[in-house]
Amino acid sequence: MSTTEDRTSTGAPAGVRLREATPADGESIALLVRELAEHERAPQAATATGDDFARTLREGGGIGCLLAEVDGPAGVEVAGMALWYTTFSTWQGRRGMWLEDLYVRPQHRRRGIARAFFGRLGELCAQRGHGRLEWWVLDWNTPAQEFYRTLGARPEEEWTLWRLDGEGLAALAPRGPATGS
């Protein structure tokens, strides 16, 4: 979209509606996550189910998801999602937002949906007093990196991601009653 006249009052492109996901959207979110995992060349990594997302959204706790919807031949179709959670910066002494996944289905790309997601996430950050919005991007995904730069984002190249999961994480769990000092 090239002009502001082509956008709705919410910042979404004409014909696109952004809304907050509810627990009833769990299956749609799980499907989008599996599609994203395929795109990121790791389909086996996406093990979450619709029930997992429904439960998580029901529980709350600083987790949210925006869905983009469009009218399709068979009715309303989910075109993409932005799933986020609240973080905290000790340096800023403020909460922030971590964008865990942003995905727009291939047939709906280049319509301004991703930019609309970022616009809405920016609004949420401002409303909540968050000090930052952060996310990962794969090294090989240069089109995404170029798009993020158009938003004014920059890579944090001095930081290296570390992860502990699976057996390594389980090995940290105490084996008996906790002892305090």
As annotated, the active-site residues are 148
Indicate the helix (H) or strand (E) that contains 29: helix 26-39
Give the contacts of 131 (CB within 8 A, at least 6 positions apart).
89, 92, 94, 95, 96
Q: Which of 106, 107, 29, 103 is nearest to 64 (CA)?
A: 29
Whole-angstrom distance, CA of residue 144 vs CA of residue 169: 31
